[in-house]
Structure 1
Amino acid sequence: MTGALAGVRVIDLTQMLAGPYCTMMLADQGAEVIKIEPLGGDPTRHFGPFREDDKDHHFGGYFQSTNRNKLSVALDLKSPQGKQVFVRLASGADIVVENFRAGVMDRLKVGYETLAAENPRLVYAAIRGFGDPRTGASPHVDRPAFDVVAQAMGGAMGITGPDANTPLKIGPGIGDIFPAALASFGILAAFHHAQRTGQGQFVDVSMYDGIVSLCERIIYQYSYTGKSPVPEGNQHPILCPFGTYPALDGQVTIGCPRDSFWVELTAIMGRPELATDPRFRTNNDRLAHRAETVGIVQEWTSSRTKAEIEAELGLRVPFGPVNTAADIYADPHMAARQMLAEVEHPGSATPVTIASTPIRMTATPGGVHSRAPLAGEHTDLVLRSVGYSDAEISALKASGAVA
């Protein structure tokens, strides 16, 4: 498979979810991503779930999903020889990505300035909970942070929940994944600059900042109204109707972001008079009478199945069933868009399925083309690519610098 980033070399020092998701996005688009792991492998290799017939447990689903399309080099960054290998790899790379706490790479003497002195074109990206002092010293800089911390501090949990007093964590790890996507964008912007000018740079994304940017609505709401938004269940603070509604066999979503959709919906519900009723005529009217509006829609949906609601709304009103994973697998859209990718899983007799890339291109399609690597699976291959001889590689392995 070809990708738009074919020929771009990325050195990936990341672990857990945010960093690996960022470099996964680059790998999906054809970049050669070399994952640098400790000699014992990335700790997330031990996270499940595992297939029942997999007795080897080289890695579970967590690692497989976000480390596909990558090469693995096992390297001891604390050893002098390991540091030399890493600097040599970085000196010929286009991009380095890490998500350690601020200062870790500097204490190892392989931080941005050291690498940039060897490779001025290098784009060096860091994803941290509260950013890096190079771009703005946060008072929280030394605190550890994971998805739930970013969701809580960045505002996502504060507007999610059944009522104003019950904030909830959002299911997927958006505190990791959205900053990861922002980092991949920043990396490509910096890489474009480096290609034009020869000047590399440091790219910094704070997970906290990333979730604040995701929750941009609450920033302007507070500025305009002086009030902090709170959880409002499954309805929308600005649009109505726009949320989830009960069906006989589950839940559905219906949205009327324009008044014309409300006109269509009232006709379908057999209540066309509601389109001209002064309580419901415009979106702002419906917001002022939200409980009544929601109740009208709920009354209609609750006597129908999801399939019946879909058939009646057709192409006229924005609608979607609340899907389970099983529903997603069964939806023909997934096959048409090739969103469910099958890959080999070492130790299991049958392939496993992971989510593919949603980014589609006509000339350089990219996508999932290989499983996640075994720890150190490509050490020899990668080291040879930067000039190490087989004898030198054997000596490095004997010293414990690589595996």
Structure 2
Amino acid sequence: MVALHDVMALMHRLKGGSGQHIDISLIEVLFSFHELSVQLYDSTGGQMLPHRAGPEHYLLAGAGIFKCKDKYMFIVGLNQWGGLTKAINRPDMANDPRFKNPADAGKYKDEINGAIQDWLDTQEDIYQAIEVLEANRVPCAPILNIAEFMDHPHVKERGSVRTIKDDIFGDIRIPRTPLRFSEFPEPPDLRAGTLGQHNHEILREYLHYEEDKIKALESNGIIAAKNI
């Protein structure tokens, strides 16, 4: 968010504007992630107070995290109602007037989500459920743990995880930055120094300390270096 703020200010200046002071608040950044909470609260005169909804959407039906026999999955069937009812073998729900409008269907969230869960309980595993849902064009995806994510073909093809050399851990994998540039596709091989790693270099080159004086500082505990 801060970087976007900076880029917007730079673009303003490049297009003939002046430089400006940038003000950004951490609490306002967090507040901006509240999706529709403010609008729902204000437009209903305070009657609708959004709250934690667990794995389900707090307002809409047919959307959320559902349990399969072996794993959990995410389903969003709001705009694919016909396909969803076909996938879960509930054609009787397709033309039910109560569920025609997604906003109205939210009133019957327990019934709709319950029907989805009942169907999932009949599937052998998550991948069988995904195959049926995708065949009916219902957006869905498995909930992956970190090991499954790192082993995912898309993640491997993208190179989303990269290996670096660390002085303490040796070769270790870390998330790759999501920012990609055509002119320098590979991120620079940067690493943080360990505590006090550059003590001698700084004191010798910038303060012109002799080696004996630097060692005296170390022996008296004034400076120290640790491999952390």
Q: Deviations for 1:175-221, whole angstroms, at most 9, x for unmatched residues?
A: xxxxxxx1111122223344455954332321111111111411111
Say whether the 8 Å CA contact 1:183–1:203 is kept in structure 2.
no
Structure 2 unpaired stretches of 5+: 215-221
Alignment correspondent of 1:287? 106
Q: Deviations for 1:327-372, whole angstroms, at most 9, x for unmatched residues?
A: 10121111122111111111234x21111122344x3454533142
Q: Deviations for 1:131-180, whole angstroms, at most 9, x for unmatched residues?
A: xxxxxxxxxxxxxxxxxxxxxxxxxxxxxxxxxxxxxxxxxxxxxxxxxx
The question of 1:220 aligning with 2:33 is answered: no
Alignment correspondent of 2:160? 339
Q: Name the SS for the 1:243 alignment partner.
A: strand
User: Superposition RMSD on alpha carbons, in Å?
Assistant: 3.2
Alignment correspondent of 2:218? none
Q: Name the SS for the 1:205 alignment partner.
A: coil
Q: Distance in 2 between matches of 1:243 and 1:354?
A: 29
Q: Name the SS for the 1:344 alignment partner.
A: strand
Alignment correspondent of 1:393? 206
Q: Distance in 2 between matches of 1:310 and 1:273?
A: 22
TM-score normalised by L of structure 2: 0.78
Say whether the 8 Å CA contact 1:247–1:306 is kept in structure 2.
yes
Say whether the 8 Å CA contact 1:356–1:367 is kept in structure 2.
no
Q: Name the SS for the 1:285 alignment partner.
A: helix
Q: Percent identity?
A: 25
**AA paired with 1:372?**
R
**AA paired with 1:336?**
E
TM superposition shift of 1:263: 0.6
The question of 1:348 aligning with 2:169 is answered: yes
The question of 1:373 aligning with 2:192 is answered: yes
TM superposition shift of 1:262: 1.4
CA 1:192 to 1:366, structure 2 compared with 1: closer, same or farther past 3 Å? farther
The question of 1:262 aligning with 2:81 is answered: yes
Q: Larger RCO: Structure 1 or Structure 2 (Cα < 8 Å, ≥ 6 residues apart)?
A: 1
TM-score normalised by L of structure 1: 0.46
Paired residues in the alignment total: 209
User: Highest Rg: 1 or 2?
Assistant: 2
Say whether the 8 Å CA contact 1:236–1:242 is kept in structure 2.
yes
Say whether the 8 Å CA contact 2:63–2:74 is kept in structure 1.
yes
Instruction: Please show how residues 46-57 of structure 1 align to structure 2 within 5 Å.
Output: none
TM superposition shift of 1:298: 0.5
Instruction: Please show how residues 319-338 of structure 1 align to structure 2 within 5 Å.
Output: 319-338=140-159
